[in-house]
Structure formats: C-alpha cells, structure tokens
Chains A and B, each alone.
Chain A
Amino acid sequence: MNTNRFPQGRGTKGSKKWIQDVINQHPAILDSHIRAAGCLPDRLPVSWQSPLATDEYSEYRDAGFLERLDLSLHKDSLRQFWPSRGPQWDALGVQKDLPRPRYYVVEAKANIPEIVSTCQAEDPDSVRLIESSLDRARTHFGAPRNPVWLQGFYQYANRLAHLYFLREIAKVDAILVLVYFLNDRTHIPTTEEAWRGAIALQNKLMGISDRSRQKVVCEVFVNTGEITG
C-alpha cells in the first residue's frame, strides 16, 4: 500500500478541477502543449499516472510519488534529500518508449496568488535539510543566495529542488512541467500575458535564468476553454 497517496475527490474549481479534467478527459491536449514546448517527442504520448479518476484522483508525495513512477529504488536517497511532507505532485506521468524513460512531474496553477507561498516547516532538522537541499538546487540552477526561495516562491523552489534530485541524484530523465491554466472562470480568470509577467518576475526574483530552465522546466499554458469546449 502506498502510504503517501492522498485521494482528492472530484475538484470543482481552480487548478485541482482543471488538472483532473485534462488528465482524465483530454490528456492529448496536455501532451500537445508539452510537445509544442519541446519536452515530448512527436507522436509519443505521456502515460499519466495521477491524478486518475480510477484512483480517486489521488495525488502523491515523498516516497509515494517515486513508487507511483516505479522509481522506488531512490526512496532512501530522497529521505536524505528532503524531510517528510514534501511536495504533493498535481500530476505524474512517464514516457517509456524513449531510449531512456522520461518522467514528468507536474505543478498546476490557475491563478497568480497560487504561486506565492512560504516554507511552513518548523522542526529545526527539517528546516536545515530543506535549506541545504535548496542551496544545492539553487547552485545547480546558477541562482544567487536569495530569501525568496524560502519565503515568497517556496513552492516553485521545492519543485526545482526535486527536479534537481531526480536529474542529478537519482540520475533519471525528468522534466518539471508547470501548467498554467488560462481564463479559469470557476475562480480567478488569468490571461497568458498576466501569467508571463508573473512568471518573469518570479524567475527574476529567484535569480533563475531562462537558460538554466531550458529543456528541464516545461511551461505550458492551457486555455480552460480547450478543456470545456
């Protein structure tokens, strides 16, 4: 049994609803955006592993997400890299028809306030481990030391840290997919232009260059009209 499996129930609004809709009803739409961003070869689909309707729309974190992706042999390394209650992935997928399997870990957002977050860890050991792992990731992505990695854009920072873990420690071909939903009429509608402004500001403040994200961070903009239409 996967102890780091979190059934979500059916989402009714915001990014939870849209990621469930696109993964379960229109996976080809998401695949086409990822492909257009250069992160998925022609004709090959992603095999989405979560959040599936047949799995109670469950999301996974910690060792659970590795298990879901058949990467359980890296569980111990992850425990040394990040304390428990790490990122809970909005979606997980894999493409196994490539010479090396490619793993897709997804963070979905439907409005700009969602991108702002702060580290909530209180246990000193956990905080130390988080800071040290964020530092490793930050150095890898060529960003200067900066408090917004912990306070302000922590969620993006910890996703980047896990991408670093997958690629540099677990040595697997992993892509961080950031899905930005456009025009979400169930909550706060956001245009692509507004997203691009906020993302540029976020990367600027965190000190992350376009070059360091190239080919490993895949930003896609999915119009909610494509999913409902």
Chain B
Amino acid sequence: MVRMRFENDGNPLRDRIFEVLRNSRSSAEEDLTALLQCAAHIRNRIIVEQTAKECGLKLSGFRANDDLELYYDLKQGRHDVGYISKGWDDPGFRVGDLVSVPRDNIGKVQANAYRLLKFCATRGVVLTVEEKPESIELQMDSVIYSDGFNKSVFAQVLHYLNVCVEKAEELIG
C-alpha cells in the first residue's frame, strides 16, 4: 500500500485545533457545532470592534464565557454609554444600559415606570426592573440581529438607548 504524503503548509494553530479534535470524545456533529461557534465568535468580534471604531466608541472589559459569546463595555469619550453583548445561541447583539435607582426613590419608580415603559418601547428599547437590597435596577436593552448589524443601525440603537436613559433619569433618578 502506498501512503500519500502531504506537504506541511505550516499552520500551527490549525494543527493544534486538530490535535484537540483528535483527542476529543465528542461526536463529529458536536465538533462541527463548536468550530462554527468559534468561527462566529471571531467574525462577530471583528464586526463589533470595527463598527464601534467607526461610531467613535471605545470598547473595554471584554468577556466571553459559558453564557456569553462576547461582551464589551461601551464608552464615548469619557462617558459610559452602556454595553454590547451576545449569548452563544442569540440571533443578535444586545445593546443595553443599566440605571441604578436608590430604594428611597421606589415611589417615583412605581409612579412613573409605566410612562418609561411606553417611552422606551416606542423606541425599540425593552425595559425590565429588578429590585436589589440597596437599589432598584432599570435594565434597558435593544436587540440588533446579526445580519442587520452595521454602523448606522448601531448608532441609531445607541441614540435611542441614550434617550431612554435620560428619560429614566428625568422621571425617576
């Protein structure tokens, strides 16, 4: 029997990945899913980093873990303007911000949250409220589907998010 010999094209990273796959006990389907997720993760990081740069935003605090495919804090100049994240199974990116309200202001939250809910919803921003021991957290989120993620959509979503944060501070803060 003649064995074919291939030239080594010198891609050590690929060789290391194949080494891991060869030693893996997972099925071919599971291997493929993991590889596709890794490819998507790399692609999505590039898209987010490039788009943020085009929008004049600074990214920091990158995280990825079992739940999150990616997470960055967003800054415009010196100001925090929220975050962008994506879960492994999410169809798109979540752009959001958190407003923390002291518990002393619970009356204002109760009296105005419905106004804020409507205000945010008409701008595509989802409002959820969580009570913590020291504060009430208003979580505001928008979703941008991966295939529609570009500079103008990102800038628009951030604008609406910022408008909603300002409204929250006006009504409740």
Interface class of chain A by DSSP: helix
Q: A113-B122, A204-B129 are in contact. Are A198 and B110 (CB under 8 A)?
A: no
Interface class of chain B by DSSP: helix
What mask results when residues 198 to 219 of chain A are scored 1 for a CB within 8 Å of chain B, else 0? Answer: 1011101100000000000000
- Is B118 a contact partner of A113 (Cβ separation < 8 A)? yes
> Nearest residue in A to B138 (C-beta to C-beta)?
A201
Q: A147-B111, A148-B110 are in contact. Are A201 and B129 (CB under 8 A)?
A: yes
> Nearest residue in B to A195 (C-beta to C-beta)?
B126
On chain B, the residues within 8 Å of A116 by CB distance are: 114-115, 117-118
On chain B, the residues within 8 Å of A122 by CB distance are: none
Q: A146-B110, A191-B143 are in contact. Are A112 and B128 (CB under 8 A)?
A: no
- Is B121 a contact partner of A112 (Cβ separation < 8 A)? yes
Q: How many residues of B contact A (CB 8 A)?
A: 14
Please list the residues of chain B having a beta carbon within 8 angstroms of any beta carbon in chain A. 110-111, 113-115, 117-118, 121-122, 126-129, 143
Known interface pairs A116-B118, A194-B126; 18 further A-B residue pairs with C-beta atoms within 8 A, sorted by A's residue number = A112-B126, A116-B114, A147-B110, A147-B111, A148-B110, A152-B115, A188-B121, A193-B126, A197-B127, A198-B117, A200-B128, A201-B113, A201-B127, A201-B128, A201-B129, A202-B114, A205-B110, A205-B114
